[in-house]
Amino acid sequence: MPTEHRFTFGLWTVGNPGRDPFGGPTREPLDPVDSVKKLGELGAWGISLHDDDLIPWGTPGPERDKIVARLKAALDEAGMGVGMATTNLFGHPAFKDGAFTSNDRAVRRAAIGKAMRAIDLGGRLGAEVFVCWGGREGTEVGTAKDPRDALERYREAMDALVDYSLAQGHSMRFALEPKPNEPRGDIFLPTVGHALHFITTLARPDMVGVNPEVAHETMAGLSFHHGVGQALWADKLFHIDLNGQRIGRYDQDFRFGSEDLKESFHVVRLLERAGYAGPLHFDAHAYRNDDLDGVWEFARGCMATYRALAAAAQRFDADPDVQEALAAASVAELGEPTIGGDDPETLKAEVDGLDALAARGYGNERLDQLAVEVLLGVR
């Protein structure tokens, strides 16, 4: 088993029972401890979890501790870690109008309280990152929330949570997970860009990064690898959610690599080149018409495809034809400063050279076809 890739799976991913808006579950619930064991056997580095994945809503206090201890023992036995912890602020009906941005102040307060409890849990389990996905932070009715008020409340909540975590002595960093819509008509902080900007307005921006998800950026038709690129450029890629999704559809959360292999390749190549060392988290689930065997095929497939794409990226960059094509496209030249101390008048004078500069080609057809051929394994 390669150890360099720290693959993780949410308890809710392999444990997904196959419920959807049009039908009930098709699979039995999984005991988290069984999931840990099986994922360890398949070569995963760790797991992630919502508070309610582990401790069902309404579990009395004393039982909670036993549940946590039992999971911890299972993780220790399997030699596995916790990539991230998070809180479920979307399932309970009280969150139907939002959590941190519910119009009801009492709901907002309880939401912050629930997140604090989940931070306690994450800290206890040694989670590296605490993810905040604001799935209900939005609206279907434009007049129901002033977006400026909503962002103000969102900021207040995030600042309080970071303060709380630091006060408890936790080292966890936070990661915001953007999504454009579903389950709300429009969700606040819809893309990686909106989240990156929001973070700059926080009291402790250093503690908060993003958790981009393939499916979420792709729903809006945005380039996932460009979004991840902007996060890396800003040193804000604290976590990543890998899966498969078609543009302009319901949230599909398919097996990583099952959709858009070339974009998946670009993402993997970027992560590898950037030396991203955080968890590679598969936030996905098996097709609803599969049984438990299919669930483990799904988990195996996510990891196998990531490894195959990482190998393809290496093959690509080592290929002399590719190197020639990259040079023909002047790819490295984009890394060079444009101005180099020259003064404005010099630059203005160079405008007259534009007609001559139009002649060259950039060899992009060849470069992309080489990527396709590497991907297809025919070179």
CA nearest to 17, candidates 267, 266, 287: 287
Q: Minimal distance in Å, beta carbon 16 to a copy of itself?
A: 10
The least distance separating a copy of itself from the CB of residue 213, rounded to whole angstroms, comes to 14
CB of residue 32 vs a copy of itself: minimum separation in angstroms?
20
Tell me the C-alpha distance between 294 and 14, whole Å: 10
Pairwise CA distance, residues 276 & 278, whole Å: 6
Please say which residue, 79 or 335, places its beta carbon nearer to a copy of itself: 335
Of 83 and 134, CB closest to a copy of itself: 134
DSSP 332: G
The DSSP-derived string for 159-200 is: HHHHHHHHHTT---EEEEE--SSSSSSEESS-SHHHHHHHHT
Amino acid at 233: W
Of residues 51, 53, 97, 241, which has the active-site annotation?
53
Is 239 annotated as catalytic? no
Nearest-angstrom CA–CA distance, 322 and 340: 29
Of 50, 239, 266, 285, the catalytic one is 50
Least distance to a copy of itself, CB of residue 200, Å: 4
Q: Which of 135, 151, 47 lies closest to 87, judged by CA?
A: 135
The closest of 276, 373, 378, 363 to 328, measured between CA atoms, is 363
Clarify whether 53 is annotated catalytic.
yes
Residue nearer to a copy of itself on the CB measure, 76 or 365: 365
**Rounded least distance, CB 174 to a copy of itself, Å:** 16
Please, how many CA atoms are within 13 Å of residue 223, restricted to the half-sphere of its CB? Answer: 13
Between 63 and 77, CB nearer to a copy of itself: 63
Which C-beta is closer to a copy of itself: that of 74 or that of 88?
88
Classified as helix, coil or strand, 274 is helix
Helix/strand/coil percentages in the chain, nearest 5: 50, 10, 35
Q: By C-beta, is 33 or 234 nearer to a copy of itself? A: 234
**Could you tell me the smallest distance in angstroms from the CB atom of residue 57 to a copy of itself?**
9
CA separation for the pair 184, 134 (Å, rounded): 10
d(CA 147, CA 139): 10
What is the C-alpha separation between 296 and 14, in angstroms, rounded? 8
Residues involved in catalysis: 50, 53
